[in-house]
Each structure stands twice: as structure tokens, then as C-alpha cells.
Chains A and B, each alone.
Chain A
Amino acid sequence: MGLTKKDFTLLIIVAILCVFAPFILNPFPEGSAMAQFNAGYPDLMQRLVIFGIFAIGFNILFGLTGYLSFGHAAFLGVGSYAAIWMMKLLTMNVIPAIVISVLVAGLFSLLVGWISLRRSGIYFSILTLAFAQMSYALAYSVLTPITGGETGLQPKYTDPRILDGALEPGQTPRANLFGLDMKQSFELTMGDWVFTFNAGYYVAAVIMLVAFYLSIRIFRSPFGMMLRAVKSNQQRLNYTGLNSKPYTLAAFVISGMYAGLAGGLLVAMDTQVGAERMFWTASGEVVLMTILGGAGTLIGPVLGAGFIKYFENIVSKINKSILEQWFAFMPDGIEDLLITLVYPFIGKGWHLTLGILFMLVVIFLPGGLVEGGQRVGRLFKRKKPADDKPDGKTTPAE
């Protein structure tokens, strides 16, 4: 596959995690107090891998070249709109929708990148942000005939759908892969545990693995080396006979296509789109994911995306009654105090929790979660030789 042993092992580990995610993310039995920490339901699992793709792509631009785009949600949104129009006009099969979302996002990012890359540093970031906010404004109001404006778009039974043919009135069009419904799930009950295997999740996971594989190839290619050189010293690059502009533009378009792919997959899993997914907070979120996981590392963005999406869903689900349940064993006064203290950080306040986690990671682990993992790994490596020593006898230094 053209990978070194280490990279291949990483890919295999990620593949295994993806395949067994329904088990791994559902460690707690159904109905138990810890069940709200389970993440093994289709909607969340799909989001984990889809935003993983988004962050992998963003990392190709930001992690390698150092160009910080603050407008990548625009490409995700454009991909989503392209996909939903494929579903309205052509077929509910997800393949054409996903392909067209990648292509349209690629073209759009070519335009935005061509203009924004005239500047670097903070000016580049501001230009991309301006483009994204313009796209949001267009989608939200001006282009309502194409984007559905405030209400967004959904496939309806009245849509032409040339390949599928007409639907009965009232029937809901369902996204499928050659007849396999994306929402179709198989539930496996083992004792108190219930594991859900969802068709859409596995389609998204396979695509994420391909995207991850491609990103490894890009990282290890001469092209990837040039992108790191852009980040390191653009002056030397230019005086070494290399034109940095097409390199950065290519990286920008590739990451835009990844964003478009993520947008197309979001539509394939949940057939609706609204302008809010192009809002600047969505662009900021992918920046957070990449930095939180570890910018410039292979696996970091995937971890960051998983981390943020997991906490977004889990923490925001916790409400006051769950807290009361947790702290019920404590004396009344302390229970109320704890609930008052914790309450602002749960439910709608989950952004506070995310903010604190983000600060902790950036301050103590500048290399992101990957650096955390490396530190833990080193800790174990240092311990090992000590454990190996026969019956713990060490010669004391005299």
C-alpha cells in the first residue's frame, strides 16, 4: 500500500477501532446510571467519523503548511447543498451526492484559495473568514431559491429525481446505497448491553478510512514534504527554485475537498441541510478539533474531532435531574451546592466545559492529545526496564 510499517499499523488500528466502535462506544449496560456516557448510537457515531474526515482534511492545510483557514465550514456547507441537490434531482443513492459534493467544494475552494492565498498569516485567515461569512449570508438570504434560506432543504416526494422515478404522495425519500437504507440498523442484545450496527455509520467509516489512508500518503510524499517546507521557511523555498503558491493552493483545494466530502456525508446520513452549518463557529470548531488533537500529526485531528463531538453530545445531554440522581447519596445541603456548581457546565453550557478542556490541553499539552498519548507511552517505556529486572534487586550506587 506504499506505507511504512509504522503508518500501516496506525491505519490498521484506526480500522479496527472503526469496525468495533459500536462495542467500544457502548461500554455501559442499558438503563444503568452510566448509560448516558454511551456514545454507540448511530447519529453520534456517524458524526464522529464525518467530522474526523473534516478535521483530517483541515490538517492537510493547517498542520502541514501552517495556513490557518477560518472559513472551512463554507466548503462543508457547499458540499452539503450540492449533495442535497443531487438527491433532489437525480437519485437518493448517496454515491452521486458524495461525488458531486467533493467536486463542487473543490471548485469553490479553488476560487477562494486563489484569492485568499495572495496573503499569508492573519490576513489570509481574515480573508477566508470573510468568504465563509459571505457564503453563509448568501445561503441564508440572497440565494434562498437554491438554498432554502432559513428553512434549509430536504428531499421531498415531489422532487423530479430522474433516476429513481416518482414517489407516492406522502412517502419520505430515504438516502440509500444501492437500496441499502442509510438509517437501517441492526441491534445486538447481549445481556444488559445493546449494540447498534448502523449501515450509514459503516459507509461513513469506510470513507473515513480511505480519507485517512490518502492523508497518510500525502503526509509521506514529496508533496507533503514541500508543504512542511512552506510552513518552515517560505523564503528558503522560493530561493530553492520552488513556487510556494501552487503548493499552498493545492493543499487548500485538497482540504476543501475533504470538507466537501464531510458535507456530502452529513447529507447522506441525515437528508437535510441548513445555512447554519456554514456559520463561522462551525469553521472555528474544526480549528479547535485539529489543535486539540494535535495539528500536523496524522491521528490528532481524528482524536480531536472525536473528543469534541463526544463531549458535545454527552455533556449537553446531561440535565438537572441526572445531576440530582448522581449526587443523591450526599447530604441535602452539599447536594444542592454541587448541583449549583456543576449545572452551568452541562446541557446548554457544554461550551464552558469544552472551553476549559481546550485551555487545559493548549496550556499543558501544546502538541494536543497526541502529545498526551506520547507522554503516557514514554512513562510506560521508562517503567518497563525497571519491572524487567529480576526480583527487583538493584545495585545501589555507592
Chain B
Amino acid sequence: MGILEVKNVGKRFGGLQALGDVNLSIAENSVHAIIGPNGAGKSTLLNCLVGKLIPDTGSVMFDGQSVLGRKPYEINQMGISRVFQTPEIFADLSVMENMMIPCFAKRDGAFQMNALSSIPSQRDMIERAEHMLEDMNMADKREMHAGSLSRGDKRRLEIGMCLSQEPRLLLLDEPTAGMARADTNNTIDLLRQISEERDITIAIIEHDMHVVFSLAERITVLAQGTPLVEDTPDNIKGNPKVREAYLGETQDAA
């Protein structure tokens, strides 16, 4: 049993069958990549996992509990954190505040009416956020406006925010999209370090083959809403079906 079990999930938008019959099992503490051409249903699948969409058929079980019908914040409280394609951070707040919010969410739950306590009195929360900023090499930027960070730093901050909640499953949606090569490599190193040092499962949707083959232990290839094949990176590289569907090399051309 994997930590995340997706069974027979289907999703239809009007006349478009976005997801056919998806079965997917993600093993605990692994790094699992989901790849596929544009329109293969990667994002739809991800949205079904985090509560943004509800699939028409099938089941999604996280750690033995169904996530279907739950709100995004409830699913997050179960232990699934999501990193977005464009970094979603609190741009109007300071870096430190950005990091403190998930710490409070982890400790106090979805809502806490602590309107009369002061932030400086929350020593444990401050320490936790500072610790995480150090882990992300961002301690020197703590008073900065998060909106004025560079793209790479925004991504680091977002990943740090997700990690400070100590999630069991970290979902990343094309984490290096639109990044320069140097930033991409930094992100790969960061993710590798996270997966080695922490008790965490990472599922990653990615377009960039360089990222996928540097990180993933298992790869699922999605094509036209259904999983084509699931295997180790080495086997995927050599699989002719994958080359045809994803890498765009048809038999004729080869």
C-alpha cells in the first residue's frame, strides 16, 4: 500500500474526457514523477488530489483516508502540501510572516481566534519559522517584502512554507517552469536534499526531463488521461511507447 492510492479516477469536462481511468500508487518516502505531453491530464489529476476538483469516478485515498469531497484546507491539514507552478506566496507580507503562517496553521489548525495575543509572544512559532528560513538559506532576507524576492527565492520560500507544516506528501506542479538553468539546478539540489533528510514523500509533475531524471525514483507517464506506463527512470528512457507518446518520436521518424 502506498501513501497515496488513486483508483479508477475519471474526470470529464463537458465533452472532454480529461482523465480516463487513472490508477496510481505512490510509495511512502519515494520521489515519484508524473510526466506526459500537454493535455495529458497531469494538472487535472493533481487538482483532484488536493481538493480543487472532485473526480467523477474512482477514489483517492491518502494514508487510508479518502480525500474526496474535502476542502483544500482540510486536505492540507491531513498532511498534503502543494507547491504551485507560479510560486503562490503572500506577496504583501514579509518573508518571516510568510514562514510563520504555515507554522500557525500546523499548530492551531484551520481557524484560531487569537486576536489578542501578540506575535512576539509566540516564541516557539518564531523559532520554528527562523529555523526553517535558515534551512532554506533565507535567514538574511527575513524582513524583506516577499513580493520583491527573485523568482528562485520565491520558489524556495514556497517550498519552505510547505515543509514547515511537516507534510507527509509534498506535491509539486512543474516547480522549475520558467526558471533559468542555474535556478533549476538549485531547485533540484534543494528537492534532493529534502527527500534525503526528511521523512517525506514527494510527487512531482514536470515537463523538464532533466529535472525528472535527476530526481525521480519512479515515473508515471500519462497520455490522453490514462497512465501509459509506470517504471524506473532507466526503463522509461528506453521504453518505445513513451518515446512515441511523449518524446514525440514516431516510429516513422525513428
Contact = CB atoms under 8 A, between A and B. Distances in A.
Partners in one complex: yes
B115 A239 contact: no
Given A221-B115, A225-B100, A240-B102, A232 B90 contact: yes
Most chain A CB atoms below 10 A, which of B91, B101, B108, B121: B101
Contacts of B115: 217-218, 221, 223-224, 250, 254
A241 B168 CA distance: 14
B187 interface: no
B85 to A, nearest CB: 12
Given A222-B119, A250-B113, A241 B105 contact: yes
Interface string B89-116: 1111100010011101110111111111
Interface string A47-81: 00000000000000000000000000000000000
A240 B121 CA distance: 22
Contact of B112 (A2, A222, A224, A240): A222
Contacts of A214: 116
A169 B47 CA distance: 73
A214 B93 CA distance: 22
B88 A239 contact: yes
Nearest to B79: A241
Contacts of B193: none
Interface string A235-268: 1111111110011001000100000000000000
Contact of A243 (B81, B82, B111, B118): B111
Contact of A221 (B81, B116, B165): B116
A231 interface: yes
A229 interface: yes
A31 B104 CA distance: 60
Contacts, number: 111
A325 interface: no
Contact of B92 (A3, A224, A232): A232
B118 A2 contact: yes
Q: Mostly helix, strand, loop or mixed at chain A's interface?
A: helix
13 contacts: A220-B119, A221-B115, A222-B114, A222-B117, A222-B119, A223-B114, A228-B92, A236-B88, A238-B71, A239-B50, A239-B73, A240-B73, A241-B105
Interface of A: 2-4, 214, 217-218, 220-226, 228-229, 231-233, 235-243, 246-247, 250, 254
Given A232-B91, A243-B111, 9 more contacts: A218-B115, A222-B125, A225-B101, A228-B93, A231-B92, A233-B91, A238-B72, A239-B82, A241-B102
Closest 7 CB pairs of A and B: A241-B76, A223-B115, A232-B90, A243-B110, A232-B92, A241-B105, A236-B88
